[in-house]
Amino acid sequence: MPISLGELATSQGCELIGDPDATVSGVASLQNASPESLSFLSNSSYLDQLPATRAAAVVLRPEIADACPVAAFISDNPYATYARMAALICPEPAFEPGVHATAVIAESATIADSAHIAANAVIGERTSIGANTVVGPGTVIGPDCDIGENCRLIANVTLVQGVRIGARGIFHPGVVIGSDGFGNAMTADGWVKVPQLGGVQIGNDVEIGANTTVDRGAIGDTVIEDGVRIDNLCMIAHNVQIGEHTAMAATTAIAEVRSSASDACSRAGPVQSDISMFATMSSWRDNHFFQKTLPNPELTQAVFRLVTPGPGRSSWHDSGVWVF
């Protein structure tokens, strides 16, 4: 929706160089922007695109403001400021409260009056859905789940059983949370399935990407703390504990790892020696980025490269991950 540059500047508490009455109605890259677009520059690799941009305004750092040919928002963190502004310009669609006629709701389930339950959703016994939460089409929520307020389960999300989610979570299509972990005991006659009897606890402000799976705990719970971001096609095994504000890139797989936002490294718990699921692990912790490909299942120690980001600088250090 159209919004003035002055309103955007006030909303983010940042300096505006330019006409506060000018408006924007969309967002675009520097190269593709139109006079109705907001853009941003946070990576110096794109600095050569700034002089020719046709954007209405650009969010950028103070040291390059003089090079901007259009209106400029001055920010020490242009990407984050842009993200907040983009959410105001292009807000999420609103959903009417209510339950679709094709949804199936257990008698013992509790649904907030302001929640939206879409077509063909299923909600199991003793499950509760918080205020303003959207349960998208085809989503299945099993028994004994607790979903907080202002969450969005976009479509075809599955919560199997005993899943507890805090506020403002976002869960993309195909996410499966609370399915059985890979627990098997070998006997002379073959494998015996180990009952998976725990649940999953997910904190506030967590986002999980499409087709990612999070297994229930074997004994006790799998835990994802506040502010975690998990990309598409990731696999989180039973009893994993992921510390607050961790971020994981696509195709990351973790088996019984405990990672904490306050840790200097990740330490993997007991795993079978023939497990080769550790393909690429990457995460932000304490505003640091970890990325390492573990080359083979026999690996006993790998070194992560740790980048410490900051305005105009990057530095690399060593950290460790141990697989016992």
User: Rounded to whole angstroms, what are the CA distances from 125 to 76, 133, 209?
Assistant: 49, 18, 26
Contact between 148 and 167 (Cβ < 8 Å) = yes
Q: Copy the structure tokens of residue 154.
A: 């976009």
Contact between 294 and 323 (Cβ < 8 Å) = yes
Instruction: Provide the residue type at 72 as one letter.
Output: A
Instruction: Provide the residue type at 208 as one letter.
Output: I
Return all residues near 247 (Cβ < 8 A) that are at least 6 apart.
228, 229, 230, 231, 282, 283, 284
Q: Would you list the DSSP string of 34-47?
A: -TTEEEE---GGGG
In the set 100, 238, 245, 317, the catalytic residue is 238
Q: Does 238 participate in catalysis according to the annotation?
A: yes
Catalytic residue numbers read 238
